[in-house]
Amino acid sequence: MNEKTKALKAAFPYTIPVFTGFTFLGIAYGILMSSKDYGAGWTFLMSLMVFAGSAQYLAINFLTSVFDPINAFLMTLIINARHLFYGISMLDKYKDAGKLKPYLIFGLCDETFSIVCSTELPRDIDKNWFYFFVTLLNHAYWILGSLLGAWAGSKISFNTKGLDFVLTALFVVIFIGQWKNKENRKPAIIGILCSIMCLIVFGQDSFIIPSMAVILIALTIQRKEYTENKNLTEEGIQ
Amino acid sequence: MTLTPNQTILVICIVAIATMITRFLPFVLFKGSKSNNSYIKYLGQVLPYATIGLLIVYCLRNVNFTSPTYGLSEALAIICIVVLHYWKENVLLSIVAGTVVYMLLVQFVFL
């Protein structure tokens, strides 16, 4: 058995949960797109080129409102800003990936990140090919799911009002998952409170950038407090 | 379709490029060296959690809490997700159930 087949066989079981998740989210996405009169071709193009669920859901807003490329650009940067931190965590793992590296980075979505960063591989598996197949399989599930949705949306017609709540539900579920770890709670609360504050002050159309700035400031202050507390405890021990 | 096909292609390219910037930037910035700046590391630890908070608020930005239906559909659907997720810990189930509950509420209950 050559090393690629071996890596593919090792990668597949890890991607099964993503398969179910992406199928549903992808179908919902395809249906939403077709409910706005964007057929399978557009859905395919989007899922192939962007491969970022939340940004693609968000992009439906850009496609259905007044043409505003700058807003589309900024909102996508903001919604995907978390990828910066995935990238920082993957610098080491992906450093010897060679010709596979561009695709690995291209496909570093939340789910791929969580598999790659949490998996300990047996020695006889080529890790770069393993990462490659995890990324490729997830990408394929996402494209297939959204195409299935686009097809279903064109065949069956039902009231899709409220289906866009799937994005909110996704974030709430991620939030709960993070909340279970106590260390994550302070930054999570900072994120919510600063955003609500900026929403009230700046209004619903322009609160995102101020929120990011305020969150960054709050987290920076929080860090000082954190290190000071740490130093105090250490002095106390001495 | 609200946009022309050309505008649509442009929007798709912009969304793709912006996404790629967020994915490639760390690898470009810290090329060849591991990030050993403690501030960046700290942000890497806490920012993902704060960001999700921001995204939830973003999703709910158009909810009007001062007039009917006072965001009741959203509140009920989120409560349903929280309860279900603590109980079953199944990501897909929580998302599907929360979305279906919300759809039923906005389509049949709070019109």
Mean pLDDT of all residues in B31-46:
70
In sequence order, the 6+-apart residues with CB closer than 8 A to the CB of A141 are A15, A18, A19, A22, A23, A26
| B53/A189 Cα distance (integer angstroms) | 7
Q: Give the domain range for residue B105.
A: 65-111
Collect all residues of chain A within an 8 Å Cβ-Cβ radius of residue B80. Answer: none
Tokens encoding B53? 């908070």
Tokens encoding B22? 């967020």
Phi and psi at residue A135, to the nearest 5°: -65, -45
Collect all residues of chain B within an 8 Å Cβ-Cβ radius of residue A17. Answer: 91
Q: Do B96 and B84 share a structural domain?
A: yes
Q: Do B73 and B52 share a structural domain?
A: no
User: Among all chains, which residue has been given the structure tokens 């994550």?
Assistant: A184
Where does chain A have alpha helices with state H?
3-35, 40-49, 53-64, 69-79, 82-90, 101-106, 110-118, 127-155, 165-179, 185-202, 208-237
Collect all residues of chain B within an 8 Å Cβ-Cβ radius of residue A204. Answer: 61-62
Contact A169 B94 (CB under 8 A): yes
Collect all residues of chain A within an 8 Å Cβ-Cβ radius of residue B15. Answer: 46, 50, 55-56, 59, 62, 72, 76
How far B99 CA lies from chain A's nearest CA (Å)?
Answer: 5
- The count of domains in chain B is 3
Structure confidence at residue A218 as a pLDDT band (50, 70, 90): very high
- CB burial of residue B15 (10 Å; 0-12, 13-18, 19+): buried
Collect all residues of chain B within an 8 Å Cβ-Cβ radius of residue A86. Answer: 23
Picking from B45, B19, B37, B28, the residue whose alpha carbon sits closest to that of residue A101 is B28
Q: Check if the beta carbon of residue A51 is closer than 8 Å to that of residue A142.
A: yes
Structure confidence at residue A2 as a pLDDT band (50, 70, 90): confident
Q: Do B79 and B105 share a structural domain?
A: yes
Q: Per-residue pLDDT for B35 more than 90?
A: no
Q: Which among A92, A169, A171 is the nearest to B52, CB-wise?
A: A171
Contact B81 A169 (CB under 8 A): yes
Mean pLDDT of all residues in A30-34:
92
How far B76 CA lies from chain A's nearest CA (Å)?
Answer: 12
Cα torsion angle, A54, A60, A65, A66, sign: positive
Contact B27 A105 (CB under 8 A): yes
Query: How many other C-beta atoms can be found within 10 angstroms of the C-beta atom of residue B111?
Result: 7
Q: Per-residue pLDDT for A31 more than 70?
A: yes
Q: Check if the beta carbon of residue A188 is closer than 8 Å to that of residue A175.
A: yes
Mutate which: B34, B55, B96, vs A, most A CBs within 10 A? B55
Q: Which residue has the higher pLDDT, B78 or B62?
A: B78
Q: Which among A167, A191, A216 is the nearest to B53, CB-wise?
A: A191
Collect all residues of chain B within an 8 Å Cβ-Cβ radius of residue A106. Answer: 20, 23-24
Phi and psi at residue A231, to the nearest 5°: -60, -45
| A27/A22 Cα distance (integer angstroms) | 8
Contact B27 A106 (CB under 8 A): no
Q: Which among B20, B39, B50 is the nearest to A190, CB-wise?
A: B50
Question: Which residue type does A231 have?
Answer: N
Q: For A105, what's the count of Cα atoms within 13 Å in the CB-facing half-sphere?
A: 26
SS3 A186: helix
Mean pLDDT of all residues in A73-97:
83
pLDDT at A238: 47
Contact B53 A106 (CB under 8 A): no
Q: Which residue has the higher pLDDT, B44 or A18?
A: A18
Q: Do B22 and B53 share a structural domain?
A: no
| A174/A179 Cα distance (integer angstroms) | 9
pLDDT at B6: 93
Q: Per-residue pLDDT for A187 more than 50?
A: yes
Please provide the DSSP assignment of chain B as one string: --S-HHHHHHHHHHHHHHHHHHHHHHHHHTTTS----HHHHHHHHHHHHHHHHHHHHHHTTT--SSSTTTTHHHHHHHHHHHHHHHHH--HHHHHHHHHHHHHHIIIII--
Collect all residues of chain A within an 8 Å Cβ-Cβ radius of residue B55. Answer: 54, 79, 171
Range scoring the smallest mean pLDDT among A55-59, A92-96, A114-118:
A114-118
| A42/A44 Cα distance (integer angstroms) | 5
